[in-house]
């Protein structure tokens, strides 16, 4: 089967020649421009021949145009950028968050990267653009979870005003992204889809309504994915989201397992490998054993082998190769 045939049949619940697979990571030293980012993503795709290409944009792309600034602490390519400036410090700062033109600034740069990627893979490989949900974007304008949650509880109307602006901006960004030929978006919640920072009441008020508005713009994408990040994930609260694929860290002890979720949904599950554990620590045999166990737990249908979240940049290349070999052995 081709990559696209394998993915599309998987979403339909049909058996395929082998399970599809998709992994993703950051390349911090190659994310500074549209051209460099596109080349990094395309090189990673060419090396491992993933069935579904998840575009991992610059980690701060979603907030730079509102004034977030980052710096890389050193020259090591594995160095993750650190936030050095945030636009929201006081409750009144939310009033300055206004809708943006998604074709300009950093967002425009990401659209440029998408065009470069599409020019190379269009019609051959399904690809998804990573889009963060509005509440997590708002949180990253503060850079302090405790302060942000305090603002949600005590200054909710001001935060709602900013969320409306963020949602308007990203609804427009998703419209532009869909026009560039992606197969959908990878809609990520970061820590604002789990119980480590907020509760279900805050999720219902400040999360879900804005999420659904952004997802509406991606509705024609056959591979739209919701990624419910982190431990203690509110996975069941996202089961009815209008997407085809559900992604989460199934190996996190506080999260539902593949076997737990499989009977509850007809969505395709994208998970299976402990991204911060075995993908970093190995050895390759352990990566392969975990891959085989996850494929078996899935029952062999509506399942894409992947990580629980972005694989850390410190993960050895041989561990990606090991995951790929485990899948190919299923053919």
* Model confidence at 75: pLDDT above 80: no
Q: Is the dihedral of CA 174, 175, 176, 180 positive or negative?
A: positive
Q: What pLDDT, on a 0 to 100 scale, did the predictor assign at position 122?
A: 79
**234, 194 in Cβ contact below 8 A?**
yes
Give me the percent of the chain exceeding a pLDDT of 90. 95
Angle at which helices 34-48 and 317-328 cross, to 10°: 50
What domains appear along the chain, each with residue ranges and CATH number? 3-328 (3.20.20.210)
Residue 80 CA to residue 27 CA, distance in Å, equals 9
- Structure tokens of 285? 């045999």
pLDDT digits (tens, 9 = 90+) for 203-221: 999 999 999 999 999 999 9
* Model confidence at 262: pLDDT above 80: yes
- pLDDT band at residue 74 under the 50/70/90 scheme: confident
Q: What pLDDT, on a 0 to 100 scale, did the predictor assign at position 79?
A: 82
Strand 52-55 to strand 185-188: parallel, antiparallel, or no bridges (unpaired)? unpaired
Contacts of 125 (CB under 8 A, 6+ apart): 3, 4, 45, 50, 51, 52, 53
Q: Is the dihedral of CA 139, 143, 144, 148 positive or negative?
A: negative
pLDDT digits (tens, 9 = 90+) for 181-205: 999 999 999 999 999 999 999 999 9
Average pLDDT over residues 282-300: 96
Q: What pLDDT, on a 0 to 100 scale, did the predictor assign at position 73?
A: 79
How many Cβ atoms from other residues are within 10 Å of residue 300's Cβ?
14
Angular region, 283: left φ>0, alpha ψ -120 to 50, beta rest: beta
Q: What pLDDT, on a 0 to 100 scale, did the predictor assign at position 179?
A: 97
Average pLDDT over residues 36-57: 97
> Residue 262 has what DSSP assignment?
G
N-term to C-term CA, the chain: 11
* Model confidence at 331: pLDDT above 90: no
Nearest alpha carbon to residue 19 among 44, 47, 45, 52? 52
Average pLDDT over residues 229-257: 97
Q: What pLDDT, on a 0 to 100 scale, did the predictor assign at position 123?
A: 82
Q: What pLDDT, on a 0 to 100 scale, did the predictor assign at position 77?
A: 77
How many Cβ atoms from other residues are within 10 Å of residue 128's Cβ?
25
**314, 280 in Cβ contact below 8 A?**
yes
Q: What pLDDT, on a 0 to 100 scale, did the predictor assign at position 169?
A: 98
**250, 231 in Cβ contact below 8 A?**
no
- pLDDT band at residue 286 under the 50/70/90 scheme: very high
- Structure tokens of 124? 């051959």
pLDDT digits (tens, 9 = 90+) for 136-182: 999 999 989 999 999 999 999 999 999 999 999 999 999 999 999 99
Residue 207 CA to residue 229 CA, distance in Å, equals 14
| Tokens 């991992």 -> residue | 56
Q: What pLDDT, on a 0 to 100 scale, did the predictor assign at position 174?
A: 98
**242, 257 in Cβ contact below 8 A?**
no
Average pLDDT over residues 99-109: 98
Q: What pLDDT, on a 0 to 100 scale, did the predictor assign at position 229?
A: 96
Nearest alpha carbon to residue 23 among 44, 2, 1? 44
């Amino acid at each position: 089967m081709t990559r696209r045939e394998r993915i599309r049949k998987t979403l339909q619940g049909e058996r395929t020649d082998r399970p599809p697979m998709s992994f993703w990571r950051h390349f911090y030293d190659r994310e500074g421009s549209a051209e460099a980012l596109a080349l990094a993503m395309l090189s990673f795709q060419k090396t491992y021949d993933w069935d579904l290409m998840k575009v991992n944009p610059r980690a701060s792309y979603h907030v730079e145009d509102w004034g977030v600034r980052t710096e890389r602490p050193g020259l090591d390519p594995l160095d993750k950028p650190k936030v050095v400036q945030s636009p929201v410090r006081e409750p009144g700062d939310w009033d300055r968050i206004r809708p943006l033109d998604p074709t300009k600034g950093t967002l425009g740069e990401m659209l440029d990267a998408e065009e470069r990627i599409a020019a190379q893979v269009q019609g051959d490989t399904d690809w998804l653009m990573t889009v963060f949900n509005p509440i997590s974007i708002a949180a990253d304008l503060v850079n302090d979870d405790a302060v942000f949650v305090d603002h949600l509880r005590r200054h909710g109307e001001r935060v709602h005003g900013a969320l409306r602006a963020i949602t308007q901006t990203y609804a427009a960004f998703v419209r532009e992204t869909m026009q560039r030929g992606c197969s959908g978006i990878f809609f990520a919640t970061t820590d604002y889809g789990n119980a480590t920072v907020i509760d279900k009441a805050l999720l219902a008020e400040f999360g879900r309504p804005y999420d659904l508005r952004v997802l509406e713009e991606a509705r024609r994408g056959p591979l739209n994915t919701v990624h419910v990040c982190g431990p203690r994930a509110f996975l069941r609260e996202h089961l009815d989201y209008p997407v085809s694929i559900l992604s989460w860290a199934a190996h996190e002890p506080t999260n539902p397992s593949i076997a737990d979720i499989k009977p509850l949904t007809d969505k395709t599950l994208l998970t299976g490998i402990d991204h911060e554990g075995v993908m970093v620590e190995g050895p390759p045999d352990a990566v392969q054993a975990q891959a085989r166990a996850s494929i078996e737990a899935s029952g062999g249908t509506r399942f894409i082998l992947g990580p629980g979240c972005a694989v850390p940049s410190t993960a050895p290349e041989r561990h990606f190769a090991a995951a790929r070999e485990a899948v190919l052995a299923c053919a």
